Structure 1
């Protein structure tokens, strides 16, 4: 998890800008504290995401720890390259060298922001749409569907209960305070819709149910393709691969496509994957439509 921090360089950088004694090991301790905070963030993310994402979270943590160590050592090397005027004195002070040091420091802080951005990536892992290649995808989607359907039925029954009793007191585990606040005549939403669960809320739930059902249908299609892989589609200079295992529609060229073709691919949602050596996007119906547009343009 941890990478080495050069304490000698850290001490030299400290001595270039301060009269105080350097606390041995302080640079390493500061670095490890930052990595520990990142590790704690990863554990919190693991607790709320599918095990499918845990390897990616570990890889991001390792990248953060490695890059932060490299940055810390580079920052200290730069700090040790020229003393402050307070330490060296104004006489014969190396002004140009200090200017180069300051310029390098600015670029190092820009790099530091990129490293901190890894923490934002960690936070975002597993928060978007369910990845259909996740072995737990069906379990997750089914749970989402059941939860949305249960919530919809609860809201519909709540409206029916209110129509009958003119109150929500006694319904569905609500406290009297909660029930009264949802049917408060002075509350804007209730005055506007006249029911505790307005139509737009029910419509939102129905939309969510349809979206999850559509994802389950996509999963069924993907798994059928995995069981019966489609043959590669050969064209002049490239081939099309429907990679069901990775859920990617891929275009593999004989060589690097020209600038016009690359812009065409990008404008149709395809991105270069160095790992797969392919231009690819998620394997969906929209991707198939985009593919037809790309092929028509390339072969025109």
Structure 2
């Protein structure tokens, strides 16, 4: 497990711990609300005009609020549970030091899939007038009985095998991943950049995989709006306004610097 994967595992564990804590708090609040409610006889109304009316109403409102807290805590627990489950489901992150190797494996698998689909289509065309021959040929290629039958059964447009759009989409994915690999390799070869501007410091850090704006203290609202408008977000862990390193991010950073250097930073 590399340091990025370790960081993701720690984040997942932290979210799971938050979910468990909120779940425990919800259960405790629900138990307390139930216990409070048992102090009121079933069906007992508020005694209007009785000296206990105000106290009784306040007590009932307390019970209501406690149940409300229970539901809020349960929502919080569900929120953290969903966030924990989603960790690692976003594909291969550019922050992962093994991203290039993992993407290369994806390209290899997609390329193999492409060749497999093309081979199946060639076999089906070869036995075009003989469905039984098609089925036997597909079985020899390693297809299951069920898969072979589906491949030789015409779809709504009368097509058999893999449709052309399936091969086109797969090829598009290969090209997209190859372009991403090219970008990541270019990022790794970048020299660090450090600029001192008007009221800010700017850096391009290939190791962090970030372009960053740093300020002494919290920048003015107008400056924050400029940064947000150009895709930068505050990172408490880095104490900087950041974007993931890319050509687009660098272009946006230059636009921000032109604005900040042309103003007073206010």
Which band: TM-score by shorter chain?
0.7 to 0.9
| Number of the residue aligned with 1:86 | 41
Does the aligned pair in 2 maintain the 1:53–1:126 contact within 8 Å? yes
Match of 1:218 among 158, 174, 183: 183
- Is the CA contact (8 Å cut-off) linking 1:169 and 1:180 kept in structure 2? no
Taking CA–CA contacts closer than 8 Å with sequence separation of 6 or more, which of the two structures ends up with the larger relative contact order? Answer: 2
Task: Please report the RMSD computed on the Cα atoms of aligned residues, expressed in angstroms.
Answer: 2.9
**In the alignment, is residue 163 of structure 1 matched against residue 118 of structure 2?**
no
Moved more, 278-287 or 216-225: 216-225
Q: Does 1:284 align with 2:246?
A: yes
For residue 130 of structure 1, the aligned residue among 73, 78, 92 is 92
Q: Is the 8 A contact 1:169 1:176 kept in 2?
A: no
With over 3 angstroms needed to count, the CA separation of the structure-2 counterparts of 1:143 and 1:188, relative to structure 1, is same
Task: Tell me the residue number matched to 2:8.
Answer: 53
Report which of the two structures shows the higher radius of gyration computed on alpha carbons: 2
| Cα distance, 1:97–1:53 mapped onto 2, change above 3 Å | same
* Aligned position for 1:36: none
Give secondary structure in 1 for the equivalent of 2:104.
Answer: helix
**Alpha-carbon distance in 2 for matches of 1:113, 1:271:** 27
- Tell me the alpha carbon deviations over residues 185-205 of structure 1, each in whole angstroms, 9 at most, x when there is no partner: 3x214x1xx441111111111
- The TM-score with structure 1 as length reference comes to 0.71
1:181 has 2:146 as partner: no
Q: Within 2, Cα distance between the matches of 1:143 and 1:250? A: 31
Shift of 1:234: 1.4
- SS of residue matched to 1:279: strand
> Which residue of structure 2 lines up, in the alignment, with residue 154 of structure 1?
116
SS of 1:255's equivalent in the other structure is coil
Distance change in 2, residues 1:208/1:58 (3 Å): same
Cα distance, 1:72–1:147 mapped onto 2, change above 3 Å: same
1:235 is matched with: 197
Q: Mean alpha-carbon deviation: is it higher for 164-173 or for 111-120?
A: 164-173
Equivalent residues, number:
246
Q: Is the 8 A contact 2:110 2:174 kept in 1?
A: yes
**Farther-moved stretch of structure 1 (77-86 vs 231-240):** 77-86
Structure 2 contact 12–87 (Cα < 8 Å) conserved: yes
Distance 1:155 1:50 in 2: 33
Cα distance in 2 for partners of 1:76, 1:262 equals 45
CA–CA distance in 1 between the matches of 2:222 and 2:213? Answer: 15
What is the 5 A alignment of 1:6-155?
53-73=8-28, 85-86=40-41, 89-90=44-45, 92=52, 94-155=56-117
The change in CA–CA distance for 1:239 and 1:76 in structure 2 (over 3 A counts) is farther
State the match for 2:169 in structure 1. 204
TM-score (norm 2): 0.79
